[in-house]
Amino acid sequence: MSRQSSVMKRKSFWRLRQQWKLLGLFEIDQEHEFHDLTCMLKAGLKAAVQDAIDNPPLDVLTEADFTAVLKQAHEGFEMRTYAGPAFAFFRRSLGMSEKEYQLSLSSESAYLQFISNSKSKADFFLTNNKGFFLKTQSKREIRFLLTHLPKYFQHLERYPHSLLVKFLGVHSIIIAGRKKKYFIIMQSVFYPDERITERYDIKGCQVSRWTEPVPEGRQVIVVLKDLNFEGKAICLSHQRSWFIRQVKLDTQFLQGLNVLDYSLLVAFQPLHADELSHNFASIITRTAKSVDGRGCHQRAMVPGAISEESAILVSDLLSGASVYHTCEAAVDGKGNLQDVSLRSSPESSPELSRALAQNRRLLPNYKNPLHVIDGPELRYFVGIIDLFTVYSLRKRLEHLWKCIRYRGQTFSTVCPTQYARRLCQWVETHTL
């Protein structure tokens, strides 16, 4: 009887999915095929985060923190947490509250499933508040992430305002009679999404980079691609040079890991009248509020937050002013930051020099500030995702085949050096 019920449930879900597949996002209710799985995930993650709360990480990470495996038995399944102390340390560095993180992952409200137009066979789940993504990964991809986790943390420590997606946990779930599932937890780049009007997945190439837009007036979530973006631009004004340099720094890091096929996510959101930032004074005010805790959205310090005094100096530097002789060579005639080493002077601020060396910026007083950039008219959500595709022998052979199949066209399967350079070129030509 239970088997028949299971078959009926799958058929029912299949019909619903045909109706809703263009919606992109819908609730995993009791009729959903993943309902039982997500209930187990909630219970397992609640216990896993509770262990991190009961055993907080030390102030310095050790090798054992990266190799730790926590096994927790539950009724009907086992949850395993990999590098738990290291990820708890990282979440703390992001200013995240473990209690709030736990509440988001184990809330009584249903998870959401995201149906993407990606070629990946992975399953995507969102917490009900849309703040965190859960994505299934292969064992190879999990091994790759855990192997390079120390380098990843080092990069984000060196450049705290990096655009790389923030990985917050790696887990697996073992259910009797089923294949072991590995999954990662990430911060959602498009959060909060209430007023987002357009979403794009950019790879800097042409082949298979078009998605059929949704008819106007329909409330459908679709992530568009490179060819859909033609004729548009990311208008950042003074923050353009920061954005270009950060993409360069992040892609150089990924190039060092020998990976390709990652994406730059971009979303547009119109700014409200009180959010418009036509001048740096309003940006400084919002930044100061986010630093001293007076902002309505910031509940904790975010990494690399700039003090009010240095915020004024950074804003002057970005607008082309001469600031206490602090690295005059770092600014060209147009007020753009150049990728050169900083020079100190007796009058220069150590915090300012450090902020420039780390390519830090004035963060908006907004939720998810590390992935949000405010332009003169629009707010942009930006982040780099899908970091696990290694340029293996298989990918090299795929590259040779595509050179013949798509002669004269650009495609995603190219060597990491070319992939990084091409994405940087796309950013330069599509930002103002």
Q: Which of 364, 325, 320, 359 is nearest to 340 (CA)?
A: 359
A 10 A CB-CB count for 428 gives 13
Is the pLDDT confidence value at 323 over 90?
Answer: no
Pair 78, 50: CB distance under 8 Å: no
pLDDT for residue 353: 80
Is the pLDDT confidence value at 337 over 50?
Answer: no
**What is the rounded CA–CA span in Å between residue 147 and residue 127?**
27
pLDDT for residue 108: 93
Pair 184, 170: CB distance under 8 Å: yes
Mode of pairing for the β-strands spanning 263-270 and 378-385: antiparallel
Q: Which amino acid is at 366?
A: Y
Q: Which of 267, 144, 142, 252 is nearest to 202 (CA)?
A: 267
Strands (E), 67-161: 69-74, 77-82, 112-114, 124-126, 132-137
Pair 53, 102: CB distance under 8 Å: yes
Pair 111, 125: CB distance under 8 Å: yes
Cis status of the peptide bond prior to 192, with omega within 30 of 0: yes
- Phi and psi angles of residue 373, each rounded to the nearest 5 degrees, phi first: -130, 125
- Which range (103-112, 121-130, 167-176, 333-342) has the least confidence? 333-342
Residue range 85-124, pLDDT digits in tens: 999 999 999 999 999 999 999 999 999 998 876 667 789 9
Using alpha carbons only, give the angle 103, 38, 86 rounded to the nearest 5 degrees: 55
Residues written for the chain: 432
Beta bridge partners of 198: 268
Between residues 23 and 310, which one has the greater pLDDT?
310
pLDDT for residue 429: 97
Between residues 135 and 24, which one has the greater pLDDT?
135
Pair 163, 382: CB distance under 8 Å: yes
Task: Report the chain's mean pLDDT, rounded to a whole number.
Answer: 83
CA-to-CA dists, residue 376 to 1, 181, 241, 311, 432, angstroms:
61, 44, 15, 18, 11
Pair 149, 66: CB distance under 8 Å: yes
Pair 246, 254: CB distance under 8 Å: no
Pair 112, 26: CB distance under 8 Å: yes
Pair 394, 297: CB distance under 8 Å: no
Q: Specify the residue for token string 């190879």.
A: 140
Residue range 234-245, pLDDT digits in tens: 999 989 999 999
Q: Which of 421, 242, 208, 255 is nearest to 336 (CA)?
A: 242
206-224: string of b/e by CB count within 10 Å (b at 16+)? bbebebeeeeeeeeebbbb
Pair 382, 189: CB distance under 8 Å: yes
Q: Which amino acid is at 218?
A: R
Q: Looking at the whole model, is its pTM more than 0.85?
A: no
**Two tokens, residue 46:** 């609640």
Q: Which of 341, 351, 344, 312 is nearest to 326 (CA)?
A: 344
pLDDT for residue 366: 85
**What is the rounded CA–CA span in Å between residue 311 and residue 284?**
6
Mean pLDDT of 248-272: 97
Q: Which of 56, 59, 158, 171 is nearest to 106 (CA)?
A: 171
Q: Specify the residue for token string 């009900």.
A: 128
Pair 94, 74: CB distance under 8 Å: no
Domains of the chain: 24-188 (3.30.800.10), 190-277+365-431 (3.30.810.10)
DSSP H or E segment with residue 92 = helix 84-93
Residue 418's pLDDT band (boundaries 50, 70, 90)?
very high
